[in-house]
Amino acid sequence: MTSRAPHLSTSRPRRLPLLAALAVLAAPAAALAQADSKAAARAHFESGVAAFNDRRFAEAAEEFEAAYRISPAFVVLYNIGQVNVALGRSVEAVEAFQKYLEQGARNVSPQRRREVEAELRKQEARIGVLVVSAKPEGAEVRVDGKPLGKSPAPRVVRVSAGRHTVEASLAGYTPQSREVTARGRESIDVALELDRLAPAAAPPPPVVQVEQRTSSAPPVEGAPGGWRRTAGYVVGGVGVAALATGSIVAFLSVDRASEARRRAGEAKTGAAWDTARDDLYSARDRNRLGWAIAGAGGALMLGGLIVALTAEPGPERTALRLAPVVGPRGGAVMLVRGW
């Protein structure tokens, strides 16, 4: 669509509406807004005129709208209508021109009224109607990104001729979108039906790998095999401690006995010899005691080890047992693995 700028071009007759708007915006403060508001509105309006003359129509529309919001002079609506015509926004142009005629009333000259009414008829012929409905109830409906409200009530919206996007969305449903081409004075029914989202698939159960074990059943906590094995380790630990202690006492007593024997040889007689003899006897007694403790500890260690290893086996284990072994040179009792 080729845009033109009636009443905003460089020719004198087409600049009259702009001059009229400037005159209203510059009126005394008692008739319009305060001085600051007038200055801001005038600045926006002048920026809009400059943008329109440079064919920056979108920017011009924003500036004119800002000027009207600050100082709602009806003559600005004429310029808003003209810039929307240039942008191909027939619906917005019609709304602006209608408000211009309503608010201007008798202040609009007959010639200008005829001109605006002719433009209104031209723009209305370029407007179509979309009747939008959506299911299920509560769906949010939008046309070209602008929300229209929620279903089930059909939404009737006037649109400029051309392509438009109709959308509907609702939580828990798949959004729907449709492209439609509107023509002037044509009504189009657009029905959107949303599909419910499929429930999220549950994650697959974890794969449990079952290992085949040599035992028919795993040991139960507190079963005889468990405490026997624990008791065996405890007894074996005590045996190791006793073996180590007895060995230390025995080896130390050997050193004391050697020292007492040396002193007795040097003294030969007298009180020194008696003392050395007593120390020698005492060292020998400690040596025998140490070896006795070490022997008992060794027995405890061996017994505890046998008890622990021959207890009920745990997972992935087989028991050790005492078994006689007979060879060509004789027999013996040994620990063997098996049932």
Tens of pLDDT, residue by residue over 217-262, are: 454 445 556 677 787 778 778 878 877 887 888 778 788 878 877 7
What is the model's pTM? 0.49
Total domain count for the chain?
3
Mean pLDDT value across the chain: 78
60, 95, 124 — which closes off a domain? 124
- Spans in the chain with pLDDT lower than 70: 1-34, 153, 200-202, 207-226, 268, 273, 311-339
**Measured on CA atoms in the order 14, 19, 21, 22, is the torsion positive or negative?**
positive
Is the same domain home to 114 and 155?
no
Find how far residue 223's CA is from the centre of its chain.
48
Domain that holds residue 292: 224-337
Is the same domain home to 256 and 332?
yes
**pLDDT reported for residue 213:** 52
Is the same domain home to 172 and 246?
no
Strand (E) or helix (H) holding 338: none
**pLDDT reported for residue 202:** 66
**Measured on CA atoms in the order 51, 36, 98, 187, is the torsion positive or negative?**
positive
Is the same domain home to 169 and 246?
no
pLDDT in tens, 28-79: 444 444 678 889 989 999 999 999 999 999 999 999 999 999 999 999 999 9
Find how far residue 131's CA is from the centre of its chain.
40
SS3 252: helix
**pLDDT reported for residue 277:** 77
Is the same domain home to 139 and 106?
no
What CATH number is attached to the domain comprising 114? 1.25.40.10
Where do the DSSP E strands lie in the chain?
A: 127-135, 140-143, 146-150, 155-160, 162-169, 173-174, 176-182, 187-193, 195-196, 320-327, 330-337
Q: Provide the 10 A C-beta neighbour count for residue 254.
A: 14
Q: Please indicate, yes or no, if residue 238 is contained in any of the structural domains.
A: yes
**pLDDT reported for residue 208:** 59
Is the same domain home to 167 and 84?
no
Q: Please indicate, yes or no, if residue 208 is contained in any of the structural domains.
A: no
Is the same domain home to 183 and 118?
no
CA quadruple 277, 282, 284, 288: dihedral, nearest 10: 160
Q: Which residue, 174, 168, 177, 167, is CA-closest to 196?
A: 174
